[in-house]
């Protein structure tokens, strides 16, 4: 387990029965969509993060990922367009948490902040520039280089209603 994960994940789990967390990396043209945690948040305020949340009882990870992306960003994940980037584990016993990070390569809708009580901003950030941001997941820059290089990323259908990364 990367250092710092138990401190990162465990405080986010206010319900000890909820041990599964999913995070989604919407990726387009060499950039990833991040959410900025509101300065009023109890856990990790004023930091950049991947959108996501807890897996509800009875949900699969892909179902939870789809629900969280819709609740937080207003987008619908296209079937078969998400793939697991990595799994992280924190804590043990009753406090054990499983964090599943997913790449999402295609979605319907324009990502907008649908959870202003949680996030005060969203932004496309070039993967190469993640290291310069204050991140909840300090290991995020190390995880995302496993994504395809920008020139090998599939171009999303221009006819869809989506925002494009504009860079920093």
Is 32 a member of any domain?
yes
Question: Residue 16: its pLDDT value, please?
Answer: 46
Number of domains into which the chain is organized: 1
**Nearest of 45, 52, 49 to residue 35 by alpha carbon:** 49
Angle at 34 between CA 97 and CA 80, to 5 degrees: 70
Residue pLDDT, tens place only, 7-24: 444 444 444 443 788 999
Decide: 29 and 153 in contact? Cβ < 8 Å: yes
- Residue owning tokens 């907008």: 112
Is 46 a member of any domain?
yes
Is 27 a member of any domain?
yes
Is 111 a member of any domain?
yes
Residue 126: phi and psi, rounded to 5, are: -60, 135
The number of residues making up the chain comes to: 168
Q: Residue 95 is part of which domain span? A: 5-152
Is 19 a member of any domain?
yes
- Residue owning tokens 């990790």: 44
Is 158 a member of any domain?
no
Report d(CA 13, CA 95) in Å as an integer.
Answer: 9
Is 50 a member of any domain?
yes
Is 9 a member of any domain?
yes
Decide: 49 and 138 in contact? Cβ < 8 Å: no
Residue pLDDT, tens place only, 20-47: 889 999 988 889 999 999 999 877 799 9
Write the CATH number for 140.
Answer: 3.90.79.10
Q: What is the pTM of this model?
A: 0.74
* Count of helices and strands (H, E) across the chain: 3, 9
């Amino acid at each position: 387990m990367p250092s710092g994960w138990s401190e990162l994940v465990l405080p986010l789990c206010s319900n000890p029965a909820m041990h599964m967390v999913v995070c989604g990396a919407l990726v387009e043209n060499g950039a990833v969509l991040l959410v900025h945690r509101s300065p009023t948040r109890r856990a990790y305020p004023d930091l950049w993060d991947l959108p996501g949340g807890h897996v509800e009882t009875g949900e699969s990870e892909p179902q939870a990922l789809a629900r969280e992306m819709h609740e937080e960003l207003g987008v619908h994940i296209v079937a078969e367009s998400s793939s697991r980037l990595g799994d992280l584990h924190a804590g043990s016993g009753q406090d054990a948490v499983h964090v599943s990070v997913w790449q999402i390569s295609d979605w319907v809708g324009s990502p907008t902040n649908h959870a202003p009580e949680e996030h005060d901003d969203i932004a496309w950030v070039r993967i190469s520039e993640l290291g310069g941001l204050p991140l909840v997941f300090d290991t995020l820059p190390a995880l995302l280089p496993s994504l395809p290089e920008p020139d090998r990323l599939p171009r999303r259908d221009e006819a869809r209603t989506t925002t494009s990364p504009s860079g920093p």
